[in-house]
Amino acid sequence: MRILVVEDEKKVAAFIKRGLEQESYAVDVVEDGVEGQSFAEMNDYDAIILDIMLPKKNGLEVLKDLKSAGVRAPVLLLTARDSVEDRVKGLNVGADDYLTKPFAFEELLARLRVLMRRGMSGTPVLKFADLSLDPATRRAKRGEVEVELTVKEYALLEYLLRNPNRVLTRTLIAEHVWDQSFDSETNVVDVYINHLRSKIDKDFPRKIIHTVRGVGYVLKDE
């Protein structure tokens, strides 16, 4: 899951980025409204955290333009003061939720999870064949065998499980699991697919992660 943070206060942005990365999200941070808008339109984010008071273009303007450009990622607005007016304006132009600064990280995380769940079809535990992944506990199970995953392995497996039977290119996978600093020339995606395979496929007769030569990978039960 990849998240865009548009926030000019460096401390707040760093605090959000660090926290989200520990939760295995890929995070891009930009510091003004104009850049925020172009990042949001260029990439396919799973959620956007948007501050209202921003240089160059304020968050409410950005939000309005994103909605008319058809960007569908849920948006969580950050407001500096507890301003009823900003909140109402924000919700009117299509914000999915708002949070007043200062906030506890846990609060932000809880709101984000609700927003992202809303966009998905529901079942909290992700399942495919005899594999299951519980986002709440971050545990994977293959049959009755519990599998421990690193932060990136978890993010990768979650993305695959949300897109079963669909051929995912390396680029698509990289875009959802890694952030903007990802170097597309590297073979990081293949390396992590191999890590995952050794944990959830290698010792089991039914293989579910399949290579599509020259393209990418597909989660398939054969």
Q: For Ca ion, which residue has the nearest CB? A: 53
The residue (of 54 and 193) whose beta carbon lies closer to Ca ion is: 54
The full length of the chain comes to: 222
Q: What is the 3-state secondary structure (H, E, C) of 93-106?
A: CCCCEEEECCCCHH
The site string for Ca ion over 121-160 (x = CB under 5 A, - otherwise) reads: ----------------------------------------
Indicate whether 8 belongs to the interface with Ca ion (CB under 5 A).
yes
Nearest-approach distance from CB 19 to Ca ion, in angstroms:
18
Q: Supply φ then ψ for residue 35, to 5 degrees.
A: -70, -40
Q: Supply φ then ψ for residue 36, to 5 degrees.
A: -55, -45
Nearest-approach distance from CB 205 to Ca ion, in angstroms:
54
Helices (H), the chain: 10-22, 33-42, 59-68, 84-92, 105-118, 151-162, 170-177, 188-200
| Residue 184: DSSP 8-state | T
Stretch that binds Ca ion, among 43-51, 67-75, 147-155, 164-172 (CB under 5 A): 43-51
How many residues in the shown chain lie near Ca ion by CB under 5 A? 3
Stretch that binds Ca ion, among 6-14, 16-24, 114-122, 200-208 (CB under 5 A): 6-14
Tell me which residue of 171, 142, 140, 143 sits closest to 157, measured CA to CA: 140
Nearest-approach distance from CB 89 to Ca ion, in angstroms:
16
Nearest-approach distance from CB 35 to Ca ion, in angstroms:
13
Nearest-approach distance from CB 219 to Ca ion, in angstroms:
40
| Gyration radius from the chain CA atoms | 18
Q: In the window 44-63, what residues touch Ca ion (CB under 5 A)?
A: 51, 53
Nearest-approach distance from CB 63 to Ca ion, in angstroms:
14
The residue (of 76 and 133) whose beta carbon lies closer to Ca ion is: 76
| Residue 74: DSSP 8-state | -
Indicate whether 86 belongs to the interface with Ca ion (CB under 5 A).
no
8 A C-beta contact, residue 76 and residue 3: no
Nearest-approach distance from CB 110 to Ca ion, in angstroms:
22
Write the single-letter amino acid at 76.
L
Stretch that binds Ca ion, among 5-13, 120-128, 141-149, 174-182 (CB under 5 A): 5-13
For residue 194 the two structure tokens come to 């191999």
Q: Please give the Cα distance from 32 to 216 (Å, whole number).
A: 34
Which residues of this protein are in contact with Ca ion, per CB under 5 A?
Answer: 8, 51, 53
